[in-house]
Amino acid sequence: MDFLVLALAALVPLIIGFLWYSKMLFANAWMNSAGLSEENLKGGNMAMIFGLTYLFSFFLATAIQFMVIHQYSVFSIFADTPEFKDPTSELGMWAKDFFDKYGSNFRTFKHGVAHGVLSGIFFVLPVVGINALFERRSFKYIFIHTGFWTVTLALMGGIICQFASAY
């Protein structure tokens, strides 16, 4: 795992959140749809909120790398096979050849963005949507949060796919 790239990608939700939920973009619509006011938001422990947001974002970045870096699937198949770790074994030589030939396939920012967008649509939308439906929230609420997470995951996926080392 490339902890430096994951740590960088974990900053993305904080940066995008600062913009997305600002007065420039969706602050008023979000507060209205969530039933919040500026007064409500002043009472939070911001150090804890930002600290836990970064920690949770690091968890997300860690999970995202396994979606956007397809070479990890080879590692997961052979991880416990002793021959895989021996570069002189038949499997070790095959692995070296495989990674020499295919180790950089699908390792672009664009590919990571595509996975991030798909994650936003097929994971975030259903999770946020189901919660919002039971909480009797509006579709505006669903689309504001789903939009935030789709953009955020797209950028995190792009950064991780382009810059993280897989092996």
Amino acid in the structure at residue 127: V
Amino acid 43: pLDDT = 82
Amino acid 23: pLDDT = 95
pLDDT at 79 over 80: yes
Contact criterion met (CB below 8 Å) for 3 and 134: no
Residue range 62-66: average pLDDT? 96
CA 68, CA 71: separation in Å to the nearest integer? 9
Amino acid 75: pLDDT = 84
Amino acid 37: pLDDT = 92
* Domains of the chain, residue spans: 3-70+106-163
| 3-state SS record for 51-72 | HHHHHHHHHHHHHHHHHHCCCH
**What does pTM read for this prediction?**
0.92
| 129-155 confidence digits (pLDDT tens) | 999 999 999 999 999 999 999 999 999
Q: What is the DSSP letter of 23?
A: T
| 83-134 confidence digits (pLDDT tens) | 988 999 999 999 999 999 999 999 999 999 999 999 999 999 999 999 999 9
CA 128, CA 94: separation in Å to the nearest integer? 43
| 12-49 confidence digits (pLDDT tens) | 999 999 999 999 999 999 999 999 999 988 888 999 99
Residue range 59-83: average pLDDT? 92
Amino acid 167: pLDDT = 63
Amino acid 36: pLDDT = 93
